[in-house]
Amino acid sequence: MSEKIIINDVGPRDGLQNQAKVLTPAQRLQIIESLLAAGAKHIEVGAFVSPKAVPAMAGTDQVVAGLPKGDYEFSALIPNLRGYELAKAAGVNTVGLVVASSETMNLKNIKMTTAQAMAVCSDVLALSKTEGIRSQVYLATAWECPFEGVIDTQQVVDLVGEILAAGASEVVLADTIGAASPAGVKHLLQAIESVHGTQAISCHFHDTRGMGVANVYAAVEQGIRKFDASIGGLGGCPFAPGATGNVATEDVAVMLEQMGFDTGLNFRGLLAAIDLVSELTGNCDGGHSSRWIRRQVEMDRM
């Protein structure tokens, strides 16, 4: 049996958050259903944030209400305790929190210092641990910040330690602006491994400079077995100038499957999901491998 690698599809949140077109909760559920049909079991389904600040995430409670029961990890992004309570009330089983490793990014993004952001995060983690809700903390700009440039490795290693000590189930190292190179990925992961191990670490890459897939490979080589990706490469970050889409789910899946890992995803289903996202958003051409996948499916090879 092949070793498993988890692809957590963040298309319905990170992917949709930055689109010009705001989808309805029903349309967002349609996308989630297409991902489930493609075999996905880990999906970021929305965010409990101010609908004024992020209209695309309004009605996430309705999205959550429509999710099937079963062995799935459906996560929702929350900014604070208020978001946590909303997510819990809606029945979410995994919450996502964000702390940037860059002070400037925290100030610009959430108007807090890193210490203040960590304090908010710790309060939520204490509660989620007690209440048995999974937590994943995004360590944003883990490699490079659009304002501060390259982030000091030791600073990130220390923050990972703080977050794990505060009780997070998982730390997601996020290359928010798609600036990391595979050498940088290897370097940071080796540093983290030597202090904290990598059991509770996953990675989140953007494909801004075309290095997303290479970064996934570098992280796999360092033992990482869970990755964020978005169907069709949909995405971006409204708060990070220059960020483009997440690395595409299908690109990561093609590589990992060919490397002999089991992602649990089927390409026919992924193609249908790409087509649906493309139709609904009007802004998704698919990842770098999607044309090849389409040809394989058409030739009945997948």
> Which listed residue (121, 145, 203, 237) is catalytic?
237
Of the pair 244, 278, the CB lying nearest its own copies is at 244
CB of 140 to its own copies, least distance (A): 19
CB of 14 to its own copies, least distance (A): 18
- Tell me how long the chain is: 302
Q: Could you list the residues that contact its own copies (CB under 8 A)?
A: 178, 181-184, 207-211, 213-214, 216-218, 221, 242, 244, 248, 251, 254-255, 258-260, 287-289, 291-292, 295
> Treating both helix axes as pointing N-terminal to C-terminal, what angle do 81-90 and 114-130 enclose, rounded to 10 degrees?
30
Of the pair 61, 251, the CB lying nearest its own copies is at 251
CB of 251 to its own copies, least distance (A): 4
Q: Render the burial of 146-156: b for 16+ CB within 10 Å, e for the rest.
A: beeeebebeeb
CB of 132 to its own copies, least distance (A): 38
CA distances to 75, 186, 200, 223, 261 from 196, in Å: 24, 15, 9, 13, 25
Which distant-in-sequence residues (6+ apart) come within 8 Å of 151 by Cβ? 101, 102, 141, 142, 143, 144, 145
Of the pair 239, 292, the CB lying nearest its own copies is at 292
Q: Measured between alpha carbons, how far is 236 from 207 in angstroms, rounded to an integer?
A: 10
Of the pair 125, 255, the CB lying nearest its own copies is at 255
Of the pair 15, 233, the CB lying nearest its own copies is at 233
Determine whether 203 is an active site residue. no
CB of 205 to its own copies, least distance (A): 11
Q: Active-site positions?
A: 237
